[in-house]
Amino acid sequence: MNVDVRDVPEQDRYEGTLDGDVVAFLDYRRRDDGVLLLTHAEVVPHVGGRGVGTAFVRAALDDLRARGEKVQPVCGFVRGVIRDSPEYASLVA
């Protein structure tokens, strides 16, 4: 399942779309020091349990790494993805 991921800065979130429908989102907000707080990730129920959430969060983290951002994962799901994927450890502030 290929989810397209894009940053929507005017809404402070990443969105994942599948066949044109938003199926996942990752809310964030920027701290005063520039670090992004990753506050909440969610996947719509009808695509849950198929790895969409993990793939979506990984794609968002890849984008953030490419931009040179630092993050603080507040969301437990995002913390789990980072914990299970050591290549993202360098993103954490």
Q: Does the structure show a pLDDT above 90 at 16?
A: yes
pLDDT digits (tens, 9 = 90+) for 34-49: 999 999 999 999 888 8
Q: pLDDT at position 39, please?
A: 98
Q: At 30, phi and psi to the nearest 5?
A: -95, 130
pLDDT digits (tens, 9 = 90+) for 65-75: 999 999 999 99
Q: Which domain holds residue 25?
A: 4-91
Q: Does the structure show a pLDDT above 90 at 83?
A: yes
CATH code of residue 74 = 3.40.630.30
Q: Does the structure show a pLDDT above 90 at 7?
A: yes
Domain count, the chain: 1
Q: pLDDT at position 1, please?
A: 63
Q: 46-53 long-range CB contacts below 8 Å, 24 or more apart?
A: 47/1, 47/18, 47/23, 50/1, 51/1, 52/1, 52/3, 52/16, 52/18, 52/23, 52/24, 53/24, 53/77
